[in-house]
Structure 1
């Protein structure tokens, strides 16, 4: 299932006040939503929530490398991933990169093997 975070007409701006909010829940071995649809050039606030007691991360090296991340949020993304301890949440403000499909996964031991994977599709 895709979660669509868009509206008619893409905007190319760094006006973070107009960023579209997208909440992504991390839990034991899944992302919700696991498929995310974004519009190229549009600002988003990714609100990533770890609802479990253990640690998880949201890793998409290619996506984060190509997205334009708000300078104040750049240190929240390390090596193409966002790490969250149990019960933590974080907001990442970014402008969606070029159209394409970007894999996401949790890099913690065996988490992706147990299904903690997904994709970001930018159109």
Structure 2
């Protein structure tokens, strides 16, 4: 009986530790510049389960977006930033910056592109690699 109580206590402690929100103050910041027609960098590297602040900067005068629908669907997005993502995409007007706080999802490679007309064809593509 003692072992059962000990096991249940440890299980409860482990699940409560996972339920705590990330410390956004210590999140890794990744700056991504959107220009005509590139992402810089065009390959983002993250570690599963770590907190990040994705700092998107549109250096162009026209609009672009950061479309990574599978990545955003799998990541844990900060509740206050969820409304900035619509259908897996973050829209940025010319000169605009947007921050998205998230916890990196499961390991894998996620595609990234700008879904504006012909922007992907002109090379505005990339990937997010999670280890």
Q: Decide: shared fold, TM above 0.5.
A: yes
1:19 — aligned with what? Answer: 27
- Cα deviation, 1:54-101, whole Å, max 9, x if unaligned, reads 000000000000000000000001100000000000000000000000
Report the structure, 1 or 2, having the larger helix content: 2
Give 1:118 deviation, angstroms: 0.3
Report the structure, 1 or 2, having the larger strand content: 1
Gaps of 5+ in 1: 1-11
Q: TM-score, normalised by structure 2?
A: 0.84
Question: Are residues 1:118 and 2:118 paired?
Answer: no
Question: Are residues 1:70 and 2:62 paired?
Answer: no
Alignment of 1:75-94 (within 5 A): 75-94=83-102
- Matched residue SS, 1:104: strand
Q: TM-score, normalised by structure 1?
A: 0.89
The 4+ residue runs of structure 1 with deviation greater than 4 A are none
